[in-house]
Amino acid sequence: MASKLLTTQALKAVTLNDIGTHLNDGDSLRGIVRTNRISDVFIDFEYKYRSGNKWRTAKVGRWPEKTLSQLRVIHGSMKAERSKGIDPIDLRKNKRIEASLKQAQEEKEHKEALQRIATEEANKRSFESALIIWAEHELSHRKDGGKEAMRSIYKDIIPTLGSIALVDIKRSLLMDILDQVVRRGSRIMANHLFGDLKQFFTFAITREWIDVHPLIGITKDKIGGRQKERDRYLSEAEISELHRKLPDANLQSICELSIWIMLSTCCRIGEIAKAKWSHINLEQATWIIPPSNSKNAKEHIVFLSDFAVMQFRKMKSITVDNEWCMPSRIDGTHINPKSITKQITDRVKDTVQKGRSKDTGKLALSGGNWVPHDLRRTGATLMGELGVPPYVIEKCLNHVEQNKLVRIYQRHELKDEKREAWRILGEKINQLSFKNT
């Protein structure tokens, strides 16, 4: 019997020429010579035994991954199991099933543990801390870095709900606060706040901080109401009326001049408030509004009319060497756009607000209440009445073309057309207001 047993030396002598050869080690243990894709020779050992009326073959192991001695020990163990009535193949299959079930159980327990940790963390996460994370990820991409949105949130939301766990924030709590904002007369602010909160909770849902969006299904109709598009503009008669009333309105001189600049250039209030003298060339009659100052973050070139140049020259004589066209008297930077709005609206309204100007009604016009942004609309309306094509007016307003196809293929800047539009607008305003000065 011993002479028939395999030896390690004999196994090492096997070559590619022996592929498929059966090597018997005696006592129902045999090996089959095989090769792999990289031409390595190996030997798969198996145990062949009779089970009932059929023969079965159980895998023992592979040489040289296991030594010949190890393979014989495994074979001996299988024979011992057979002597006890245990089938080696069935036993191995059952062990695999048990191992799979154990792994599944461990994975389930691990998942449940992670869920418990996540739940504990969620219960610790306050509404305020979650809002801060949202601001860092989402609001930072806004033009103002999210300052205006967070200012409103810290004014109306954080004092009441900031310390409450995010998972405990319910629709009723949010609606109570939004209703309070509406009751104080700030419907538009309530709508803006509502929009920001909807974005925040969508952000929270995607990160599985919460399971249900508390504001889902609610629209602005249920908050501050739909905001109607404002269509107020000053008639020609009102422009003349405005010119007559301005000297007695006690406005700051640069604020008074800004009214005529907004009207004659169709610029936004923030664009003139943040303008620097380095942006303006009075000799070439151009004003370059940088991307950081424009609403759509695109550079905008305004070709100044003689009328607009005259207003800027007057403003320059007031500001002298200051870098800002409209410097602040407080912090050395530009004037706050809201300061211009407050100065004008205080003089349009007929009631005095506490701590505000008493020059009420001095800029009230026959057509009703107006705000600084209406000057931009008025300038555009006048352009249209003077025969300027709508597509040129849109360019003067620095609007982005809504039709993507048109936006791609029509990149002509229309410089000459815009220059002419601003020129005739300036002449018209001068005719309506300054013809007798």
pLDDT of the chain, 437 residues: tens digit per residue: 344 688 889 888 898 888 988 888 888 888 999 988 777 899 999 988 887 788 888 898 899 989 989 989 988 888 888 888 888 888 888 888 888 888 888 787 777 666 665 655 656 788 999 999 999 998 888 877 888 889 999 999 999 998 888 888 899 999 999 999 888 888 888 899 999 999 999 999 998 888 889 998 888 888 877 655 567 889 999 999 999 999 999 999 999 999 999 999 999 999 999 999 999 999 999 999 999 888 888 889 999 999 999 999 999 999 988 999 999 988 789 999 989 999 999 999 888 777 788 888 899 999 889 999 999 999 999 999 999 998 899 999 988 755 554 444 455 678 899 999 999 999 999 999 765 44
In order of their start, the domains of the chain are: 2-86 (3.30.160.390), 127-222 (1.10.150.130), 236-434 (1.10.443.10)
Q: Are 19 and 44 in contact (CB under 8 A)?
A: no
pLDDT (0 to 100) of residue 113: 62
Q: Are 306 and 426 in contact (CB under 8 A)?
A: yes
The residue type found at 360 is T
Burial of 229 (0-12, 13-18, 19+ CB in 10 A): exposed
DSSP 430: I
Residue 39 phi/psi, 5-degree rounding, is: 70, 20
The CA-to-CA distance between both ends of the chain, in Å, stands at: 130
Token pair for 48 = 């062949």
Q: Are 21 and 35 in contact (CB under 8 A)?
A: no
Token pair for 25 = 């080690």
**3-class secondary-structure state, position 376:** helix
Neighbours of 275 (CB within 10 A): 24
**3-class secondary-structure state, position 397:** coil
Token pair for 249 = 């309105």
- 3-state SS record for 121-164: HHHHCEHHHHHHHHHHHCHHHCCCCCHHHHHHHHHHCHHHHCCC
Q: Are 131 and 153 in contact (CB under 8 A)?
A: yes
Q: How many helices, marked H, and strands, marked E, lie in the chain?
A: 17, 7
Token pair for 7 = 């030896």
How many angstroms separate the CA atoms of 211 and 233, rounded? 48
How many angstroms separate the CA atoms of 324 and 280, rounded? 11
Beta bridge partners of 365: 368
pLDDT (0 to 100) of residue 110: 75
How many angstroms separate the CA atoms of 255 and 342, rounded? 11
pLDDT (0 to 100) of residue 49: 87
Q: Are 400 and 407 in contact (CB under 8 A)?
A: yes
CA distances from 294 to 119, 268, 327, 401, 414 (A): 44, 8, 18, 15, 19
Q: Which helix (H) or strand (E) holds 33?
A: strand 29-35
Q: Is the peptide bond before 64 cis (omega within 30 degrees of 0)?
A: yes
DSSP 368: B
pLDDT (0 to 100) of residue 3: 43
CB within 8 Å of 181: residues ≥ 6 apart: 156, 189, 190, 193, 224
DSSP 429: H
How many angstroms separate the CA atoms of 432 and 242, rounded? 10
